[in-house]
């Protein structure tokens, strides 16, 4: 069953077409990677799904569990079980890690908060009383955010660049967290331009210039992304296909 569907979504921002008749399906309980080059429209896609302000004036539809999300606020979507981990996690001056995780947690016990910190590789004793502010490194903040999402137990997790600002050792923890979401029957849509993240997924969706270029097996899309996308100058894929046809 598809937990999330984008149906022919077209969005213009600042006079530019950012999402161009984008359709995609996300299967319940599976880990997906939405991969594409810089500026492809990946974060925009996440923002549209989450319903952030400035991203609601589009054509097409977004369905969650078969129902349109049109007209629902970010809070209403969150209550339905959709959450977004930001490309740049927010800081909350004055709020402790414990209070931050507890605010979103389903089970608000200290044990659960500690378990979530442990799952992202942050020693609970060292971190639970720290402040979620600039004294945490970018990678630590990202992991605290991920711990809060684990504790939240959402149905659908959108993760924008889960590996950005993360060192190699911590990256393994992020990848383990993806598996924990799966064990808990949550669905993951990881947004990335990293092959390492792509390889953690079960399904791949390849985006370029706001269009779905290809979807399916991670191995096939990884090969295509590495060989064709990385060296490419991101010409619109439809124009490129026409040019390829002319050359052939």
Choose, by CB under 6 A, the member of 32, 77, 143, 193 that binds ligand ATP: 193
Choose, by CB under 6 A, the member of 22, 24, 40, 186 that binds ligand ATP: 40
Question: Can you tell me the distance from the alpha carbon of 143 to that of 117, in angstroms, rounded to the nearest whole number?
Answer: 8
The site for ligand ATP, by CB under 6 A, has a size of 14
138-152 and 97-104 helices cross at what angle (nearest 10)?
Answer: 30
Closer CB to ligand ATP, residue 16 or residue 106? 16
Q: Minimal CA–CA distance to 91: which of 146, 131, 121?
A: 131
Q: Which two tokens stand for residue 101?
A: 């995780």
**Please, which of residues 53-72 interact with ligand ATP by CB under 6 A?**
54
Choose, by CB under 6 A, the member of 8, 39, 73, 129 that binds ligand ATP: 39
Q: Which two tokens stand for residue 179?
A: 């598996």
- Window 15-54: contact mask with Mg ion (x via CB under 5 A): ---------------------------xx-----------
Closer CB to Mg ion, residue 43 or residue 200? 43
CB of 13 to ligand ATP, least distance (A): 4
Question: Can you tell me the distance from the alpha carbon of 83 to that of 62, in angstroms, rounded to the nearest whole number?
Answer: 15
Is the Cα dihedral 157, 91, 37, 211 positive or negative?
positive
Q: Which two tokens stand for residue 231?
A: 């060296």
Question: Can you tell me the distance from the alpha carbon of 234 to that of 38, in angstroms, rounded to the nearest whole number?
Answer: 9
Choose, by CB under 6 A, the member of 4, 22, 33, 41 that binds ligand ATP: 41
Give the residues lining the site for Mg ion (CB under 5 A): 42-43
């Amino acid at each position: 069953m598809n937990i999330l569907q984008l149906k022919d979504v077209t969005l213009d921002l600042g006079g530019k077409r950012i999402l161009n008749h984008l359709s995609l399906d996300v299967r319940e309980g599976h880990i997906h990677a939405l991969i594409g080059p810089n500026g492809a429209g990946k974060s925009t896609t996440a923002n549209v799904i989450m319903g952030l302000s400035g991203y609601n004036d589009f054509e097409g539809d977004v369905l969650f569990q078969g129902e349109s999300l049109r007209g629902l606020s970010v809070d209403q979507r969150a209550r339905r079980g959709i959450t977004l981990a930001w490309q740049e996690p927010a800081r909350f001056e004055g709020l402790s890690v414990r209070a931050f995780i507890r605010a979103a947690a389903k089970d608000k016990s200290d044990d659960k908060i500690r378990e979530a910190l442990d799952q992202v590789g942050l020693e609970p004793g060292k971190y639970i009383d720290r402040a979620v502010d600039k004294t945490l490194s970018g990678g630590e903040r990202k992991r605290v955010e991920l711990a809060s999402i684990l504790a939240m137990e959402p149905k659908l997790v959108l993760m924008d660049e889960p590996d950005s600002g993360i060192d190699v050792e911590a990256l393994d923890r992020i990848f383990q967290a993806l598996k924990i979401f799966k064990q808990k029957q949550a669905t993951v849509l990881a947004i990335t331009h990293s092959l390492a993240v792509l390889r953690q997924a079960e399904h791949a969706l390849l985006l370029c210039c706001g269009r779905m270029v290809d979807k399916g097996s991670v191995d096939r899309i990884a090969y295509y992304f590495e060989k064709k996308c990385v060296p490419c100058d991101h010409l619109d894929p439809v124009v490129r296909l026409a040019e390829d046809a002319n050359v052939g």
